Structure 1
Amino acid sequence: MKEQILTNARLILRDDVVTGTLVIRDGEIAEISQGISQQPQADNLDGEYLMPGLVELHTDNQEKYFTPRPKVDWPAHMAMATHDAQLITAGITTSFNSVALGDIIGESTRVEKLDAMIKAIIESERVGLNRANHLLHLRCEVSYPGLMELFERYIGEDLVKLVSVMDHAPGQRQFPPENIPKYREYYMIKYGLSDDQMDDFIALQQANSAQYADPFRRRICEVCHDRGIAIASHDDATLAHAQESAELGMQVAEFPTTLEAAKASHELGLKVLMGAPNIVRGGSHSGNIAAKDLARAGVLDILSSDYYPSALVQAAFMVANMEDNDYDLARAVRLVTANPAEAANLQDRGVLEVGRRADLVQVNSHSVMPLVERVWCKGKRVF
């Protein structure tokens, strides 16, 4: 691969932002130097930011392209290509596509489309169709009776690098007992249930959780430890939840719902992941703890775009510009680069350092919001 020289960039390093030059050779970062350069053969960035490619640990963005409308199945490779294009233009060069193993309503669309979606992700990556590096994140609904059959079917896939365990039953994590009236209202409308049908629905979900959640959670963690796959909790709400996640050897705490759970998770060594849309919107759409409050407390470790890819770079710069936290730009950018890469055991990316993958994003911050100008993946210009 031809050598590329990117000069007069504001390089966002792990702990600092400096003006300098970065050289790409054979898909890797070959040299980094500081200072203004006048090299005529170099690509002059004129003071724009150059940062590592964004690492996304939890996005289900692909689902809307596989099923753009109810009962509409879109051709798999076209769906995947459209999803990939949106991620690349948002600066995301590594994506953990989160696929739901199980759902709260049994044989839902998510379950029906699961195999086709996973096969499309694997095949598109194998044949080089994708511009970003696409991996798999298995989201395990532990109160789903058929979970272990699905888990055992997919856990052996090479692209599986992250597994999360979640329980969306009423009375659990996201829906503690005091929130069951909200749970009731939401799902009655979503599924068109009567009062009596909703009573039965709640009773079934609670019974499934009581029977399956704990043994499934523990077995999944055992398998992931044996395979060296990172594990994430989901929607932890209490100190006890955080302690259980730590005892089970989890590395990431996805979307804790309270400050108590987030602080405890952080102190116990789990990387606290929150949604970038939470930062952009100024709070949680479901009424849980705001990500900006975790930044103020110094316990925000990772941001995920979740359902809105372009929120990721925007949120990192917003965190850096907040006046009431200790996140400078270098630390804020780690939320979307180094920290998620390290949490998922990817040691070859996420930082501008010699020898790392040349996954790079050029960002123009001179406008009203940071804009992704160009993107490289393994040294190849992909946007």
Structure 2
Amino acid sequence: MTLIGAPAIRTGTACRVGDPADLVRLLSPGERIHLPGSGAEVPALVEALCAGDAPPLNVTGSFVPGINPTPLERFPQGASYTSSFAHPAAPGLQTGARFRHLPMSYGGFASYLASQSFDVGVVHVSPPDARGMCSLGVAVEFTPIALRNCRRIFAVVNPRMPRIAGAETFDLARADVVAETDAPLREYDVGAPTALASRIAERVAGFVDDGATLQVGLGKTPDALMHKLADRRRLRLHSGMLSDATRLLAESGSLDPAWRHMSCVHVGTAAYYDWLAGRGEFRVSACDVTHAPATLAGLRKLVAVNSALSVDLFGQANLEMLDGRMVSSVGGAADFAHAASLSADGVSIIALPATAGRNGVSRIVPRLDGVCSLPRHAVDVVITEHGAADLRGASVMERAERLIAIAAPAHRGALQDCWKDIAARL
């Protein structure tokens, strides 16, 4: 992998400031800065970047919708924000270049960052050990990739960031500036499982055998799935994000004790973060490791479970667009879905409710009403509360029939009529 520029040589003692908000006064207009997201976000710094006297910066980050509030409208005039995640925002922010959405998977965004250079990179870490090494704790993601090509590094040291034995580390001596804080990390609480999520999860669980390697996204259905798998044994977790239900599997004896369970980030409740501290069975690595094709190709019995906003009768999935607006990103789903579908013993699953909204609009649709996030060849099984459509080895006609069969009963007739018109032109 070719990097732009060489790592800066850092000598002497880092400058120390007080609160992370004080870091803003060390920034100049137009500088390129990389900010970590998910549990590694530094809210005080982000808030300071929106202040009236803050310089306009070119910010690149990985703020996750639903976890990290992204103040696109509040950034100073002339600032821009670049991310692989789409964020619900006021119309015109993309056309005005204030928000630069890069439609990339996690693996693609990792490759992109490896070719970029930044004036400043921010890293959010635990307090250093006796050797001066800090843990990146619950959130590694893209930070190590970005730090390779930063002129300056701003480190935020936080005792709330748990030290995880398998997480990547940062030598505090590399920092140009160090700030300290004692602030809670961003949390994600999925809440209690719903009856609908549990029904869908029950069907998904039928595809997860003992010894499988599991990737799941975030949300009520993935959380409910983890609860359904408490009776499995020797499960291996390899996912972009892991959350509180991981603890349930660990304490129920479901996880393979000989395997270092990997993710690029953990997002959950404060209690979950406390539980992770000091544990040795988890590895938290950068996305150019967790989502690398070579890494994913080596996983046995990979079961990739992801959600979608809609699936059409060809088996294509839209994970990003709703009612004409970009509301999310493909994230790591594309990386894992392709790997699972190509694996001889793997399976790529899309799990979603059959309907959405108060009006019960069908999420199985004749044609996608948004972008195609996952092509049909990367989707093996589609599951709703009404059943599982196994598309493996099925013809185009058979795929449509099986997808219509798991749509909400009230929509099946209309879907059959639409498919007759589509099929007549194939």
Calculate the TM-score normalised by the size of structure 2: 0.25
Q: Of the two, which has the highest radius of gyration?
A: 2
Q: Where is the helix percentage greater, Structure 1 or Structure 2?
A: 1
Structure with the bigger RCO (C-alpha within 8 Å, sep 6+) is 1
